[in-house]
Structure 1
Amino acid sequence: MYLGISNIDGGGSKDVTITEAPGGAVPTGSVDPGSAEGPSVQEVYNQDGPGVVTVEVASREVGPGGGSGFVIDKQGHVVTNQHVVDGADSVSVAFASGAREEARVVGEDPSTDLAVLQVDAPKQTLKPLTLGDSEALGVGDPVIAIGNPLNVGISVTTGIVSGVGRPIKAPNNYTINGAVQTDAAINPGNSGGPLLDARGTVVGVNSQIFSETGGFQGVGFAVPVNTVKGVVEQLIETGRVEHGFIGVSMFQVGIGELAAYSGRDAAKLSDELGLPENGAIVSKTTRGGPADEAGLKGGEGREEDVAGLPVPIGDVITEVRGEPVSTPDDVIEVVNSLKPGDDLPLTVVTPGEEPRDVTVRLGVQPPE
C-alpha cells in the first residue's frame, strides 16, 4: 500500500551539491538514539526536521492530495515519492517554518517510486539533509521516520530495521530491490519522507506499508538511499532515468522454494519436470526483446500442476554472471544494477536439456 494522501481538505540548475555522510563511519547499529555516543531523537528531529517538507498536490482527476519530502541541496531540490506527484496539475511545498512555495517537477521515476521537485526558496529556508549509506544498515539498527502522516503536521516516530534487502513493487509494477523494512510507524502522508539512522543521516525514502486494514500494522518499507542517490542524480541532470531491461517474466518463486512448497525435495521435482534443481523459471519473454533475441523461451502453452499451482515449464536461469540463482529476485537485482547496453552473461537450462551459456545485451526498460 502506497502512502500518499488523496482527497484531503483544504528546468532547474544542474550545479548542485548533495551532502553525503563520509565513508568509513562507525556502523549505524553501534549508536542508539539518546545514548551517550549519539544524539537523542529530539536532537535528530531538531537537526533534520526543518529539512522535511509537506508536499501538496492538486489534480483535476483525483482532487487535492499530498505526502512528504525532504530538501537535498541549497539549489532547492526536494526528494519525494513518484506516486505522490503522479498526475498532479500543480505541486507546492510547505516548510516547517510555515513558508510555502510553488514547486516544479524536475523528473519522475516510477520504476523506483522517486521524484525530484525544485522550489525557488530563500537559502535560509533550505535545510538539506545528509544522505547516508543503506548498505551499512543491519537488522535491529534504530531508525527514525519524519513526515506528515494523515496531514496532521510534521511528526517523528522511531523503530528499528526489521529487514534489509526486501523486494517491493514499484508503481509501474517493476521491482525495487534492497528496500529497508521498518516497524517505525508510518502512515498515509508519510510517503516521500526520510527514514533516518541514529545519527540523522537519510537511509531511505518511506514509500509503502503492508496492511490489511489500511492503517499501519508494523510493516513499512523505504526505498534504500543508495538507490536514491543514483536516481536523483539522473533526474536532476536529464529529468528521466533509463533502466536496464532483459524482457522476461518469471514464475514468482524459484525451483527450491517451489519444491519446499510442494513438500518434495528439489531433486525429485527436477526429475518429474525435467527442470534443474535451482533457478528462476521464465514464464514469458517479450517478443523481440533482449532475452528473446538471445534465444530464451518462456513456458507459454506448457504448464504443469505442482501442489495446485500452474507452473510454466520454460527455460530456467540458473546462474547470473557466474553466481547461482535461487529466486527471480536474484536475477532482477542484477538487472536493476545495470544500464541499457550492458552485457549480462547467463546460464540457462531448457527443460530436459544441458545447461548453456548465453549473453543478453540489456535494452531500455519500457514504461510498464
Structure 2
Amino acid sequence: MNPVPARLAAIALLVASPLALAACGGDDDDSKTAAVSTQAGGSGSVTTVEDLPTKDGGSSAKGLAIDPRTIYTRLGGGVVTIIAAGATNTDSGGLGSGFVVSADGEIATNAHVVSLGEKANSPVAGRVFVRFADRNQVPAKVVGTDRFNDVALLKIDPKDLDLVRLRFAGPEDAHVGDPVVAIGSPFGEEQSVSEGIISALDRSIRSTSGFDTVDAIQTDAAINRGNSGGPLLDARGRVIGINSQIETSSGDGTGVGFAISAKTVERAIDQIRKGGKASYPYLGVSTVGVYPQLAKKFDLGTDTGAWIQDIPSGGPGDEAGLRGPNGPTQQFQVSAFRPGGDVVVAIDDQPVKTSTDLSEVVQGFRPGQTVTLKVFRGGKPKAVKVKLGRRPTVVPKG
C-alpha cells in the first residue's frame, strides 16, 4: 500500500464549475438557521457561520445526521482552489485545495500543495494563487510551512473580497462513526463535495520528512488528487481536519483517506504565525507497540508501551542512556523484532500504551525540555531523564 498525497502533478487550464448539489434528504425547514456574523474587511466582508443545525435537530450527539447541501451552501464559499508554480511561466506546479481561517485573509492548506516536489527539503513554489468559488483569483504569500505535519499557511489581501471563515472543531468533537463532508478540487473539479464517516481516529501517517504525523483521522469520504489541503467538516460545519493523503494499492484515488486533525493543524498554524515555521521536540528512538503475546515472548515486564527497536547515534535518547536492542533479530508471529531494548510506558506520568502514544505525548513538550521516562529494562521498571532535542528535517538513520 502506497501513501499518495492528494496532489495534481501539473496545472491544467481550468474553468470553475461549482457543483449544483441536490437535496440529500436534508431538512428544508428554513427556520433552523445558523448564526451568522459578518464584518467589513476593506471593501469586502468576512462572514463567520456558527454551528449549523443538523437534520435531526440534535447537538453533536451520537448518531446525528448530516446535511451536505446545507454545509456546502453555507460554507463552500470558504473553500478555495490553490494553484502553485515555480518562479517562471515554464515551471510546472500543482493544484490543491485550502480554506479561509481568519478575517485577515489567512488560508490553510497542505505543505505539499505549495511545494515543488514531495521531499522535506523541496522548495516552496515561487508563485501561488488562490481561486474562490465566486471566481475571484488572487496571489498569495506562503507565510510558512510545517513539513512534519504537512500544513502550510498562506496570506492574501482580503480587500474587495467576500470571505467565509471556517472554524475548527475541538478534539472532543470527533468520534468514530460520525458523518463528515469533504470539500475541495479533486482532479481540478473545483467545489466538489463528498460525504462519508470518520472511519478511525489516532492514525499515524508518514510525512515527507520521514517522521510520522500522529492523531490523523481516517475517513471513507472520497479524497482524490487535488483534495489535498481542503477541509473535512463535521455535521455542524466545523473543520475537524485537513484532507492530506490517500493510501492506495492502485495508484489512484481508490483507497483510504486521511486528514490531519484540527488539533495538529491549529498547533502548526500558531507556530507558523510566530516564526514562519514549526519546531517540535525530538526523543530520538524508533519503537513498536507492545501487546500481551509479544510481552510474554520477550519477557518485557509490561504488556503495553512503546518498545525501542532503534536509537540513532548521538540523539537525545542515546545521550540519556536509553537502551536499544542488543540481540539478533527474532521472528515472532508475522514480524521480526530485536530484543533488549527499553519499553517506554510513561513520560512525566503521562501514560504511553502504544508507539503512537509516545509520539503524541512527546509532541506536547518543548525542544530543550527535560522529561522523565518510565521504562521497563530487562523486565524491571526504571526512570530515565532525557533532555529533548529539536526534531531534524529528516529522520536520522540509526
- Same-fold status (TM-score > 0.5): yes
- Aligned residues: CA RMSD: 2.6
Q: Partner residue of 1:279?
A: 305
Q: Partner residue of 1:31?
A: 64
Q: Partner residue of 1:297?
A: 323
What is the CA distance between 1:8 and its match in structure 2?
3.5
Deviations 1:91-145 (A, max 9, x none): 1111111111111110000111100011123253322112222432111111111
Read off the aligned partner of 1:217 and give its amino acid letter: T
- State the distance in 1 between where 2:227 and 2:272 align: 22
Read off the aligned partner of 2:380 and give its amino acid letter: E
What is the aligned residue count? Answer: 342
- State the distance in 2 between where 1:89 and 1:19 align: 31
Read off the aligned partner of 1:31 and give its amino acid letter: L
- State the distance in 2 between where 1:164 and 1:101 align: 35
What is the CA distance between 1:257 and its match in structure 2?
6.9
Q: Partner residue of 2:16?
A: none
SS of alignment partner, residue 149 of structure 2 = coil
1:9 aligns with 2:12: yes
Q: Which among 280, 286, 290 is matched to residue 255 of structure 1?
A: 290
- State the distance in 2 between where 1:102 and 1:121 align: 11
What is the CA distance between 1:307 and its match in structure 2?
4.4
Native 8 Å contact 1:197 1:203 kept in 2 = yes
Q: Which among 359, 381, 393 is matched to residue 332 of structure 1?
A: 359
Read off the aligned partner of 1:70 and give its amino acid letter: F
Summarize the alignment of residues 165-180 of structure 1 with structure 2, pairs less than 5 Å apart.
165-180=202-217
Native 8 Å contact 2:306 2:345 kept in 1 = no
What is the CA distance between 1:289 and its match in structure 2?
2.0
- State the distance in 1 between where 2:170 and 2:160 align: 26
1:133 aligns with 2:166: no
Change (3 A) 1:305 1:141: closer
Native 8 Å contact 2:283 2:388 kept in 1 = yes
Change (3 A) 1:154 1:339: same
- State the distance in 2 between where 1:19 and 1:239 align: 26
Q: Partner residue of 1:192?
A: 229
- State the distance in 2 between where 1:337 and 1:200 align: 27
- State the distance in 2 between where 1:239 and 1:324 align: 32
Read off the aligned partner of 2:12 and give its amino acid letter: D
1:75 aligns with 2:104: yes
1:59 aligns with 2:86: yes
- State the distance in 2 between where 1:122 and 1:338 align: 39
Read off the aligned partner of 1:150 and give its amino acid letter: F
Q: Can you give the 5+ residue segments of structure 1 that lack an aligned partner in the other structure?
A: 11-16, 34-39, 260-265
- State the distance in 2 between where 1:94 and 1:364 align: 36
Q: Which among 315, 333, 338 is matched to residue 312 of structure 1?
A: 338
Native 8 Å contact 1:194 1:202 kept in 2 = yes
Native 8 Å contact 1:246 1:291 kept in 2 = yes
Change (3 A) 1:304 1:227: same
Read off the aligned partner of 1:331 and give its amino acid letter: L
- Structure having the higher helix fraction is 1
Q: Partner residue of 1:148?
A: 185
What is the CA distance between 1:270 and its match in structure 2?
2.7
Native 8 Å contact 1:279 1:316 kept in 2 = no
Summarize the alignment of residues 98-137 of structure 1 with structure 2, pairs less than 5 Å apart.
98-122=135-159, 124-137=161-174
Summarize the alignment of residues 81-96 of structure 1 with structure 2, pairs less than 5 Å apart.
81-86=110-115, 87=123, 88-96=125-133
Q: Can you give the 5+ residue segments of structure 2 that lack an aligned partner in the other structure?
A: 14-45, 52-57, 116-122
- State the percentage of identical aligned residues: 37
- State the distance in 2 between where 1:281 and 1:49 align: 45
Native 8 Å contact 2:171 2:262 kept in 1 = yes
Query: Which one is further off, 280-289 or 226-235?
Result: 280-289
SS of alignment partner, residue 298 of structure 1 = coil
